[in-house]
């Protein structure tokens, strides 16, 4: 029986572990407690075609439109076609989705042409999914290692054969495996304002990069338009706007009506930039107005958000609440084919850490949980018979088919010979520079200077030892790669907006990809 090491315990990692345990010896390592992940904090829901009035073709079209021309159509077809079966799997695992009128309750979110978003516990969808899958994995034969930190992948003869881990006592463990499945999530901690939990430091993507795996589309980081403008940036789900809440500036103007035909339900990148622009133009906050619902309706439909808002001393049933964009989801990551395979034999990647091609330049709301379930399931199928899958990549194009190396990214021009008066390296310094130069709006000069500063910090930073130091090193590596990717993509598209290149200048829809040995 082959051994499979799964790293991470969001929806992708838990599905992979539970499915693989049917036929493999499975070890699951996770950075915190089992189930501590971005999945737990997902509020809005999970999108899938579960209604007779809806159809897969419409879900595909919505996903492609939101992705701004950079989705892999075959990956999108797989996601939307196989999505309903994965919803049924979740129900079988014990997820109790909200019901209305004898069928799943329907939610509408931005850029969907049909209310196909399923939710559980009102706005606790991710937490309910996480709880059910965690119970399923605990009841299986999976060997679970909690509070265990991934430091590096182990590579032998060009193949990933395991991983080096730090346990909670600081002991180094080397776990050997026939296959390693990365399910480590995103890297919201690249930014000072994020909806992600503290564990989202991109450890899997960084480890894959150091091992030589191809990464792609790192410049596409999605900023959620509505997080509370308070410390912690608590997420206020897009489903709130889907139910009818609107955005207003400090003068009470509903400004999104003049920005996009879909107003508050425009694609996330459009809404996030519009909110940031209005804040910059007025020097005042932007507000989410949900007062039309009434207190009882808000508490019933959005119990988690309602509790958080009220805990912050705000009464959103009576007064609009201040919001701000914050880093939310990484469309890029470790390049995979449609079976979860990476450019390194023996290494698979699923969930937010992977770049499957599903999301393109801008993820469609509530497709993230679905992607984790669909592609984790496909990866386990590939594990069962890796030789039958054919050469990598299989089942569709991947970003790595156009890879260069980091050295191939054009050298910065017009930005001087290096950073001037750069702040000393720290996580906060990385986050601030990412927000300023590699955030919602970017410019070539700022990107070049940021890349140079990140390079200078990397050259002078000592080797990490503690988990916190490893996290900082991972964030710095990913900041370097993201800044270079953003510099290389000169056109504005989706979540990547260059103020020195207007929208509409995008040429061929080619992914920005790189092998990372140059770091």
Rounded to 5°, the CA angle 21-24-28 comes to 55
Which helix (DSSP H) or strand (DSSP E) does residue 408 occupy? none
Distance, in Å, from the CA atom of 60 to the CA atom of 64, rounded to the nearest integer, reads 6
268 given a catalytic annotation: yes
Q: Are 369 and 132 in contact (CB under 8 A)?
A: no
Please report where in the chains the tokens 């080397």 appear, as a residue. 174
Please report where in the chains the tokens 């990692």 appear, as a residue. 13
In the three-class reduction of DSSP (H, G, I as helix; E, B as strand; rest coil), residue 396 is classed as coil
Structure tokens at 481: 């790669």
Distance, in Å, from the CA atom of 490 to the CA atom of 404, rounded to the nearest integer, reads 16
Distance, in Å, from the CA atom of 28 to the CA atom of 16, rounded to the nearest integer, reads 10
Paired with 6 in beta bridges are 28, 181
Paired with 173 in beta bridges are 165
Pairing of strands 286-289, 321-330: antiparallel
Rounded to 5°, the CA angle 74-103-297 comes to 105
Pairing of strands 333-335, 354-355: parallel
Distance, in Å, from the CA atom of 167 to the CA atom of 400, rounded to the nearest integer, reads 33
Q: Are 333 and 195 in contact (CB under 8 A)?
A: no
Q: 46 to each of 108, 368, 370, 395, 407, how far by Cα in Å?
A: 11, 8, 6, 24, 39
Distance, in Å, from the CA atom of 489 to the CA atom of 471, rounded to the nearest integer, reads 27
Distance, in Å, from the CA atom of 398 to the CA atom of 396, rounded to the nearest integer, reads 7
Instruction: Please give the radius of gyration of the chain, using alpha carbons only, rounded to the nearest integer.
Output: 22
Q: What number of other Cβ atoms are within 10 A of residue 37's Cβ? A: 32
Distance, in Å, from the CA atom of 126 to the CA atom of 37, rounded to the nearest integer, reads 9
Q: Which of 241, 268, 489, 506 is catalytic?
A: 268
Separate counts of helices (H) and strands (E) for the chain: 13, 21
Q: Is 222 exposed, middle or buried (0-12, 13-18, 19+ CB in 10 A)?
A: buried
**Share in percent of the chain as helix, strand, coil (round to 5):** 35, 20, 45
Write out the catalytic residue numbers: 268
């Amino acid at each position: 029986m082959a051994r499979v090491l799964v790293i991470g315990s969001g929806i992708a990692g838990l599905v992979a572990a539970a499915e693989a345990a049917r036929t493999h010896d499975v070890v699951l390592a996770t950075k915190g407690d089992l189930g501590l992940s971005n999945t737990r904090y997902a509020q809005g829901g999970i999108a899938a075609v579960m209604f007779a009035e809806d159809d897969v073709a419409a879900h595909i079209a919505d996903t492609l439109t939101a992705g701004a021309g950079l989705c892999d159509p075959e990956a999108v077809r797989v996601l939307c076609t196989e999505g309903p079966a994965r919803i049924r799997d979740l129900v079988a695992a014990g997820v109790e989705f909200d019901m209305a009128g004898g069928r799943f309750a329907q939610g509408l979110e931005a850029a969907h042409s049909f209310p196909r978003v399923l939710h559980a516990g009102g706005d606790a969808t991710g937490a309910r999914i996480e709880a059910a899958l965690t119970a399923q994995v605990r009841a299986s034969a999976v060997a679970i290692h909690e509070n265990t930190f991934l430091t590096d992948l182990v590579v032998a003869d060009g193949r990933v054969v395991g991983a080096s881990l730090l346990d909670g006592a600081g002991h180094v463990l080397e776990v050997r495996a026939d296959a390693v499945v990365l399910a480590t999530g995103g890297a919201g901690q690249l930014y000072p304002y994020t909806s992600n939990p503290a564990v989202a430091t991109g450890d899997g993507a960084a480890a894959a990069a150091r091992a030589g795996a191809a990464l792609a589309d790192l410049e596409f980081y999605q900023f959620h338009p509505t997080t509370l403008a308070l410390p912690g940036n608590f997420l206020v789900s897009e489903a709130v706007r889907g139910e009818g809440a609107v955005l207003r500036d400090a003068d009470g103007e509903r400004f999104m009506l003049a920005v996009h035909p879909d107003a508050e339900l425009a694609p996330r990148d459009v809404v996030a930039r519009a909110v940031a622009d209005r804040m910059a133009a007025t020097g005042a906050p932007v507000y989410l107005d949900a007062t039309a619902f009434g207190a009882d309706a808000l508490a019933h439909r959005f119990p988690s958000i309602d509790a958080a808002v009220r805990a912050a001393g705000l009464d959103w049933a009576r007064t609009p609440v201040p919001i701000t964009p914050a880093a939310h989801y990484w469309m890029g990551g470790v390049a995979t084919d449609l079976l979860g395979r990476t450019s390194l034999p023996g290494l698979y990647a699923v969930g937010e850490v992977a770049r499957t091609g599903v999301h393109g330049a801008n993820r469609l709301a509530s497709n993230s949980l679905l992607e984790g379930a669909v592609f984790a399931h496909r990866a386990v199928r590939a594990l069962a018979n890796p030789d039958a899958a054919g050469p990598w990549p299989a089942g569709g194009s991947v970003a790595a088919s156009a890879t260069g190396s980091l050295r191939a990214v054009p050298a910065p021009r017009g930005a001087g010979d290096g950073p001037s008066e750069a702040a000393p390296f720290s996580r906060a310094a990385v986050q601030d520079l990412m927000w300023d130069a590699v955030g919602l709006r970017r410019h070539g000069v700022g990107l070049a200077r940021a890349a140079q500063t990140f390079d200078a910090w990397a050259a002078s930073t000592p080797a990490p030892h503690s988990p916190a130091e490893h996290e900082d090193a991972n964030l710095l590596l990913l900041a370097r790669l993201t800044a270079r990717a953003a510099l290389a993509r000169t056109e504005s598209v989706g979540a990547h907006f260059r103020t020195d290149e207007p929208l509409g200048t995008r040429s061929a829809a080619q992914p920005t990809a790189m092998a990372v040995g140059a770091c």
